[in-house]
Structure 1
Amino acid sequence: MSDTFLRQLFDAAQRGDGDAIGTILDIFKPMIYKNSCINGSFDCDCFQELCIKFIHCIKKFKFTNISDITKYFG
């Protein structure tokens, strides 16, 4: 995924584009899933709360450097 594409997705998401928000959520879903495990078991309530918080953060995120985001996925 190119830095330009990710930046365009975030710009669209911050303008309220639901498809862009969904795409970003799909990109980061493995990380959210991993952080939804409590004591070795998946917690669906935690996953849902993390997804809601992540969407909120997408809308508030300010780019200072594209590497702020791209370092979290390969």
Structure 2
Amino acid sequence: METLTSLAIKAQKGDREAMVHLYQQFQSLLLKESTRDGGLDLDCYQELSEHFIRLIMDFEVR
């Protein structure tokens, strides 16, 4: 099993499968944070998803 760090490094190098795997691991959190008043706020979900991808791409390994 790969670590989040190794998946992030692969995603930054263009490995689509790694990005999909990372996204799937955090999708339930993104959905939870996008729920308002008992319903899914699709705009919020999209914004969080885009932000998540940008964070992965900007992640700096030390």
State which of 32, 35, 53 in structure 1 corresponds to 2:33.
Answer: 35
Partner in structure 1 of residue 10 of structure 2: 12
Q: Which residues of structure 2 form unaligned runs of 5+?
A: none
TM-score (norm 1): 0.71
TM-score (norm 2): 0.82
Q: Which residues of structure 1 form unaligned runs of 5+?
A: 65-74
CA RMSD, Structure 1 to Structure 2 (Å): 1.6
Count of matched residue pairs? 62
Identity among equivalent positions (%) equals: 35
Separation (CA, whole Å) in 1 of partners of 2:4 and 2:56? 12
The structural deviation recorded for 1:30 is: 0.7
Alignment of 1:1-74 (within 5 A): 4-63=2-61
